[in-house]
Structure 1
Amino acid sequence: MVSETHFPSSFTKLSSSSPRFCNSISKRIFSDVAGDISVYVDGQSFLLHKFPLVSRSGKIRKMVVDSRDPDLSKLVLLNVPGGSETFELAAKFCYGTNFEITTANVAHLRCVAEYLEMTEDYREENLIARTETYLNEVVSQSLEKSLEVLCACEGLLPIADDVNIVDRCADSVAINASKEQLVSGLARLECDGRSGKLKMDCQDWWVEDLSMLRIDLYQRVVASMRRTGVRSDSIIASIMHYAETSLKCIEKRQAWDSGVLFGDEQRIIVEALVALLANEKITSVPLTFLFGLLRMAIELDATLGCKLELERRIGLQLEIASLDDLLIPSSQTSESVFDVDTVHRILVNFLQRIEEEGSEESLQCGYESEGLKSPSHSSVLKVGRLIDGYLAEIAPDPCLKLQRFMAIIELLPDYARVIEDGLYRAVDIYLKAHPSLTESECKRLCKLIDCQKLSQEAANHAAQNDRLPVQMAVRVLYFEQLRLRSALSGNSGDGSFSHRIISSSGVPSAAVSPRDNYASLRRENRELKLEISRMRVRLSELEKEQDFMKQGMRDGKPGEHGRAFFASISRGIGRMGIFGPAGKGQQNSASSRKSQGPDVKGHRRRQRRSIA
């Protein structure tokens, strides 16, 4: 008996029992010859003949030759791809029995043919050549058949990779999907009679079929689709459907729901899907889906890189998030109800994006940038309102520590809140839910509220709120008094106060970002440069007039020096235009002397008479 390893005891027991004799195989060719060798595969025995096996299988031929036993009657094959059923099909092929090669068995036959070394070196049109022909001419031409073969390869790795079945089927799926998108896209395009726009009416059918694949094979198909040029929206739709199929709890769960324990398989799926999304555009993936993946990653304790990538992608489009999206349950029972640290990191990513966009706008637009009207500032205001609502939701949690609550408040810049009524409401709820706070802690928390940004209603409530420190109530009353005085007097009242509250454009100056101040300074700098240029032009004109007057005094006659000098002065002054044209000034002075003449003479006569 020959085996690839030591013959196990289980096979010794099988040898005493009657082996599985392939009468259907050997009846036609070897009807009068009894089987001379027993082949054991996965605990099952096959009573076969040496000649048909060694004539097509290089592996069995080598085992028989290496045994140096002419009476060899037993062979043991270990780790046969596809098991005993696939080996039985290979044995039928060796005996010349006809059977159908299908998408369900072609991968198994190709792998077992590789295992048994059924190449053309031993017989023409051997099993390897026959299966390769089927793969190239039948499977590769159909997307659906390629997917079926890929699914069959799940239990055949790594030998299916060695014979290149997986890569060929993945490329076949991608190529056929791209072709089908092109053909079906032309067929499904409909023209709107009014606007003349083109639209697509349904998604690709293969999006759902890809969910049958195992995650490692699915990753390879998606990578091949990207190389082939399949539309990005179809790939994203496929990833979302795969997640919803493989992770049944991908939908949002309430904070009070009990957690579900998942295995390593689900964690691997989440990490793989996040890695696939890393190559897609930021705005192409729905934000709700990203939040769902983030919740699953936290529950499954995924890798830190996986969670940070999701937080980064969410932070880059945080302005379109909803309040329910931010309410992420905490994975630790001893901590607060909601995961505040995750939201803090998401907010940090958002502010980094705003800072980068602000730097780019300053470089591109310079002093022409209008910060209050820029998209980035609008996004900051939206996130400011969103975070105020989030603070109000997490404030009643008795386990929420003051440091974490204040960290969220301090993270947003001052210009993110034009009105701080939402922040005041959140702080008031937190003070009510945490009566054990010390006076110093209450003061630290209330200092984060800008009393000048409170509305009339919020200020009235704060002035009568017993939970607030006395210092804050005094500040609120002081600013309310200034506001009332300004309204009654109709002017600014306290100049510094009104100037800080309202800017010249009518927009609260607290909402102006440092980027906008920088743009304003650059605008003023340019105006100063223009004024300096004008002064230089005037100075050059004066220098020219001075040279002209000197030249006239040198070249003119002695008696005419005075007239030429004063004429040049009058011309220079007239060109400067400081006092108006010289002729007009002389006429005005002459007319004034004429108009004053009679009155002056009469006045002098009256003076003489009075003296006399």
Structure 2
Amino acid sequence: MSDLETRNSKSELHINVKDVPFHLCKETIAKRSAIVSSLLERNKIDELPCILQDIEADPETFKLVAKFCYGYKVNLTSDNIISVLCIAYYLGMKEEHSTDNLLGKASSFLETRVLPSWNETVNALRSGEKSLDKLADFELVDLFFDSLIEKASYDPRLLGEPIKNREETTSEYRPNPRRRLFDNDWKSEDLITLPLRFYEPLMIRAMESRSIPVEYIVTSICKYAKKWVLDAEDSVSGKKREVVEAVERLLPHKRGLISCEFLFKTLKHSISLEASSECRNGFGIRVSKQLDMAKPTDLKILTQGYGEKDIQLLRTVVTSFYSNYTNEEEDSEDVSLFVKVAKLLEEFLLLAVSEDASLKLEAFVALGEITAAISLGVLRYSDGIYRAVDVFLERHGYLTESEKMEACKVLDCKKLSRQGCEEAAKNQRLPLRVVVQVFFASQLQIRDTVAKEIKGGEEIGVWSDEDEIEKMTEKLLGMEIEDHECVVHRWKKAKKVSVWRQVKRKFGCLNATSSSSADACTCDVKKKKKKKIHHHYK
């Protein structure tokens, strides 16, 4: 090796940045870098190649820094500003070492060009994720957060427009035109592109500031969950689980702020991702608190597949809803909520049998029992269950008579309206036993109506027992039901007190050990006293 080559070798600084080699002049770099200058003065040349090993420097950014040392103009952007700051800081490129140095230029760019702009701030925070840890002493993250919260306080629409709940609408936010930060045609960077380690503390600080309407914060959180969990097909389950747990921590518990559809989906995902029990229970509580606001399609999210665990999840949600109202003296508002949920379950049951022809008998009965239990003591009439049974029998014409009775056991004939009774009495898909029970339910309705009118002091003509029996007999005779003559004969001979008892004995309803299909529509479910229950969503 010649003397010239030896001198050149000694004057060069060899650095590898992510396997990309750089051969730089030591003296040139030392003029701008206090760290390089200090190592050369102390003759610690061996340490020079390791000066950047503690930071996540990328080759392109380091190339910019090196060119600055050689006198070239540096093109600073929101994409590279944090990385440039980090390298300049670690190399000691301060004003004390050299005037008009890189650290000062980068700091000025951050202050004047990045932080005043929403888009540039979001982009810089997202791009400089790894480098920001190395600049913790500068508290740059807090600086970014404060900048973003200030801008969102002036115009919350930067977080996204809230989706109004169908039951509880939020007041429309109208920002002061003087305080608008952007035109409608200008697309803002979305905070949901930030990594979770920045997004969660930012949202916490935004809520603590109380300067941004909560519905806008909720909108952003829901969009974050949608991007990283609900719509993320290729994401690792561990990352999804981390996000869904953070989303549950962030979301408020106030009724109506979050759509039921979103809550049902996140609850389902929290279970499938095996999130923490706190997360699963948190979503379950939110769902149960506004179950009355849900739609039948929302319930379908929970029970998709209609497996045993899916149906148990629905049962848990419903039970949790009722446990929220445990006062013995329920006000009228509570009762109206019970009515809404009872009707919701009837609509859902009908939706389930209408859209899924493969719905199994066991699943239908399980769903029907939940629906019937909810309507008990809440709905005076529940024709919805009858319509669901009718559709189920129509779509499962291959069922045996005993299987049809099993399906009909969720039907309480006494809760059919007058119109429902008329339709059921003509329905040849129903088993004979159920049709007879429908007739007697209709008779009881007539008696109740007459009794109420008499009690009200009105003078009316009251039918005799024979008149009622004749009327029911004529209805039976008008229908093509196998062996109906036997039923009519037994009915006409029966006395008023013993009629219902004889039919129940025939159907096995008086026997405590009789099959569940035999007492399909006649045995009332006793209403249990409400207790506080801790629900676990598994």
Same fold (TM over 0.5): yes
Answer with 89-98 or 388-397: which moved more. 89-98
> How many angstroms apart in 2 are the aligned matches of 1:234 and 1:352?
30
Structure 1 residue 278: deviation in Å? 1.9
Task: Tell me whether 1:131 sits opposite 2:82 in the alignment.
Answer: no
Indicate the residue corresponding to 2:378 in structure 1. 416
Indicate the residue corresponding to 2:90 in structure 1. 115
Which of 46, 54, 59 lines up with 2:22 in the alignment?
46
Task: Tell me whether 1:225 sits opposite 2:214 in the alignment.
Answer: no
Deviations 1:459-511 (A, max 9, x none): 24445656656655444333433444566797478999xxxxxxxxxxxxx9x
Indicate the residue corresponding to 1:237 in structure 2. 219
Which of 61, 80, 89 lines up with 1:105 in the alignment?
80
> How many angstroms apart in 2 are the aligned matches of 1:264 and 1:405?
31
Indicate the residue corresponding to 1:390 in structure 2. 348
Could you list the runs of 5+ residues in structure 1 that have no partner in the other structure? 1-18, 20-31, 190-201, 251-259, 363-368, 497-509, 516-612
Answer with 378-387 or 211-220: which moved more. 211-220
Flag the 1:121–1:261 CA change in 2: closer, same or farther, 3 A: closer
Deviations 1:20-53 (A, max 9, x none): xxxxxxxxxxxx9994332232223333232343
Flag the 1:391–1:160 CA change in 2: closer, same or farther, 3 A: farther
Structure 1 residue 137: deviation in Å? 4.5
Which of 290, 312, 315 lines up with 1:341 in the alignment?
312
Task: Tell me whether 1:316 sits opposite 2:289 in the alignment.
Answer: yes
> How many angstroms apart in 1 are the aligned matches of 2:185 and 2:259?
18
Structure 1 residue 152: deviation in Å? 1.8
Flag the 1:158–1:272 CA change in 2: closer, same or farther, 3 A: farther
Flag the 1:65–1:263 CA change in 2: closer, same or farther, 3 A: same
SS at match of 2:49: strand
Which of 181, 195, 198 lines up with 1:214 in the alignment?
195
Which of 139, 144, 149 lines up with 2:124 in the alignment?
149
Amino acid at match of 1:43: D
CA contact (8 A) 1:330 1:337 kept: no
Structure 1 residue 389: deviation in Å? 1.5
> How many angstroms apart in 2 are the aligned matches of 1:141 and 1:248?
33
> How many angstroms apart in 1 are the aligned matches of 2:435 and 2:275?
47
Flag the 1:82–1:237 CA change in 2: closer, same or farther, 3 A: same
Flag the 1:56–1:413 CA change in 2: closer, same or farther, 3 A: same
CA contact (8 A) 1:451 1:476 kept: yes
Which of 187, 197, 210 lines up with 2:177 in the alignment?
187
Deviations 1:180-230 (A, max 9, x none): 4699822289xxxxxxxxxxxx99977653244334333333223223321
SS at match of 1:313: helix
Which of 401, 425, 441 lines up with 2:387 in the alignment?
425
Q: CA RMSD in A?
A: 4.7
CA contact (8 A) 1:421 1:454 kept: yes
Which of 157, 168, 175 lines up with 2:143 in the alignment?
168
Flag the 1:268–1:111 CA change in 2: closer, same or farther, 3 A: farther
CA contact (8 A) 2:372 2:385 kept: no
Superposition pairs for residues 460-475 of structure 1, below 5 Å? 460-463=422-425, 472-475=434-437
> How many angstroms apart in 1 are the aligned matches of 2:400 and 2:314?
24
**Percent same amino acid among aligned pairs?**
26
Amino acid at match of 2:256: T
> How many angstroms apart in 2 are the aligned matches of 1:421 and 1:233?
38
Indicate the residue corresponding to 1:377 in structure 2. 335
CA contact (8 A) 1:329 1:339 kept: yes
> How many angstroms apart in 1 are the aligned matches of 2:189 and 2:10?
52
Answer with 379-388 or 127-136: which moved more. 127-136
CA contact (8 A) 1:311 1:342 kept: no
Flag the 1:487–1:109 CA change in 2: closer, same or farther, 3 A: closer
Amino acid at match of 2:201: R
Normalising to structure 1: TM-score of the pair?
A: 0.58
Q: Which is richer in helix?
A: 1
SS at match of 2:301: coil
> How many angstroms apart in 1 are the aligned matches of 2:377 and 2:348?
18
CA contact (8 A) 1:337 1:399 kept: no
Q: How many residues are matched?
A: 432
> How many angstroms apart in 1 are the aligned matches of 2:106 and 2:246?
33
Could you list the runs of 5+ residues in structure 2 that have no partner in the other structure? 158-172, 456-461, 466-495, 498-523, 530-538
> How many angstroms apart in 2 are the aligned matches of 1:376 and 1:330?
26
Structure 1 residue 169: deviation in Å? 0.9
> How many angstroms apart in 2 are the aligned matches of 1:226 and 1:133?
30
Structure 1 residue 387: deviation in Å? 0.4
Deviations 1:501-554 (A, max 9, x none): xxxxxxxxx9xx999xxxxxxxxxxxxxxxxxxxxxxxxxxxxxxxxxxxxxxx
Task: Tell me whether 1:476 sits opposite 2:438 in the alignment.
Answer: yes
Structure 1 residue 344: deviation in Å? 2.6
> How many angstroms apart in 2 are the aligned matches of 1:73 and 1:375?
75
Larger relative contact order (CA 8 Å, sep ≥ 6): 2
Deviations 1:301-320 (A, max 9, x none): 65555444333323222222
SS at match of 1:230: coil
CA contact (8 A) 1:327 1:339 kept: no
Which of 395, 417, 425 lines up with 1:455 in the alignment?
417
Flag the 1:336–1:448 CA change in 2: closer, same or farther, 3 A: closer
Amino acid at match of 2:315: H
Indicate the residue corresponding to 1:75 in structure 2. 49
Flag the 1:301–1:261 CA change in 2: closer, same or farther, 3 A: farther
Superposition pairs for residues 197-208 of structure 1, below 5 Å? none
Flag the 1:444–1:73 CA change in 2: closer, same or farther, 3 A: closer
Amino acid at match of 2:18: D
Flag the 1:217–1:280 CA change in 2: closer, same or farther, 3 A: farther
CA contact (8 A) 2:39 2:48 kept: no
Flag the 1:224–1:277 CA change in 2: closer, same or farther, 3 A: closer
Structure 1 residue 419: deviation in Å? 0.4
Flag the 1:66–1:52 CA change in 2: closer, same or farther, 3 A: same
Superposition pairs for residues 277-296 of structure 1, below 5 Å? 277-279=250-252, 281-294=254-267
SS at match of 1:48: strand
> How many angstroms apart in 1 are the aligned matches of 2:185 and 2:156?
7
CA contact (8 A) 2:229 2:240 kept: no
Flag the 1:320–1:232 CA change in 2: closer, same or farther, 3 A: same
Deviations 1:445-470 (A, max 9, x none): 65554332212232244456566566
Structure (1 or 2) with the larger CA radius of gyration? 1
Amino acid at match of 1:109: V
> How many angstroms apart in 1 are the aligned matches of 2:275 and 2:361?
24
SS at match of 1:327: helix
Structure 1 residue 385: deviation in Å? 1.2
SS at match of 1:75: helix
